[in-house]
């Protein structure tokens, strides 16, 4: 009887050894595959974002302006409850850390001039829309000949074409507050 008990223990020990060996083999195989996968993958390099590029500030301004399309015009507004034209410019620039005057005329006077034939997204467009004022309206150039602006009471912020029959002939100039 003693020898059959020893045989059973020996069989159990053998089974345990086989199970542990199989587990160790599987773990070793998994480890080897992981190492091979890591070695075979292409080296990663930092992804260049638009924030690293010189025009990124302008692109960010344009994107933030486009995000406001459909929001209501609000006279004197410069927050997410509604914007007037210069309030939209003021709000977006301040969100990005730029100190910008509050009115369209002040923004025109303080901005760095940009040639209208070389507009980039985020540039400001200044218009003469009221008698007695050289500059009375401002918009943000979105690219592809379009701009975002907050037009007037009763109308939402919209995207318009630069060659628009009303705004096109009233374009006074362009500027920006970043370099």
Q: Which residues of 17-30 are buried (b: 16+ CB within 10 A; e: fewer)?
A: eeeeeeeeeeeeee
Q: If you search the block for the tokens 């401002």, which residue do you land on?
A: 138
Tens digit of pLDDT per residue, the chain (179 long)?
A: 556 666 555 656 555 555 545 544 554 444 444 454 444 444 444 433 333 444 599 999 999 999 999 999 999 999 999 999 999 999 999 999 999 999 999 999 999 999 999 999 999 999 999 998 899 999 999 999 999 999 999 999 999 999 999 999 999 999 999 87
Q: Given this model, what pLDDT does residue 55 score?
A: 53
Judge if 85 and 160 occupy the same domain.
yes
Judge if 78 and 132 occupy the same domain.
yes
Q: Please give the residue range of the domain that contains residue 20.
A: 1-43
Q: Given this model, what pLDDT does residue 22 score?
A: 53
- Catalytic sites, residue numbers: 85, 137, 149
Please report, for the domain that includes residue 128, its CATH number.
3.90.1720.10
Q: Given this model, what pLDDT does residue 8 score?
A: 57
Judge if 30 and 71 occupy the same domain.
no
CB burial class (10 A; 0-12, 13-18, 19+) of residue 66? Answer: middle
Judge if 93 and 111 occupy the same domain.
yes
Q: Given this model, what pLDDT does residue 44 score?
A: 41
Judge if 152 and 65 occupy the same domain.
yes
Q: Given this model, what pLDDT does residue 6 score?
A: 61
The number of folded domains in the chain is: 2
Q: Given this model, what pLDDT does residue 132 score?
A: 87
pTM for this model (two decimals): 0.70
Cβ(107)–Cβ(32) under 8 Å? no
């Amino acid at each position: 009887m003693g020898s059959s008990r020893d045989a059973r223990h020996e069989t159990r020990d053998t089974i345990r050894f086989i199970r542990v060996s199989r587990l160790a083999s599987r773990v070793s195989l998994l480890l080897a595959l992981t190492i091979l996968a890591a070695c075979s993958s292409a080296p990663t390099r930092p992804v260049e974002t638009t924030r690293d590029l010189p025009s990124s500030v302008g692109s960010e301004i344009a994107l933030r302006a486009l995000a406001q399309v459909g929001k209501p015009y609000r006279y004197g507004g410069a927050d997410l409850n509604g914007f007037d034209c210069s309030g939209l410019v003021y709000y977006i620039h301040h969100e990005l850390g730029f100190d910008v005057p509050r009115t369209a005329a002040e923004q025109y006077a303080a901005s760095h001039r940009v040639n209208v034939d070389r507009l980039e997204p985020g540039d400001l467009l200044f218009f003469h829309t009221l008698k007695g004022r050289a500059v009375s309206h401002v918009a943000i150039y979105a690219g592809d000949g379009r701009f975002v602006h907050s037009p007037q009471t009763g109308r939402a912020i919209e995207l318009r074409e630069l060659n628009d029959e009303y705004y096109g002939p009233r374009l006074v100039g362009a500027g920006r507050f970043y370099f």
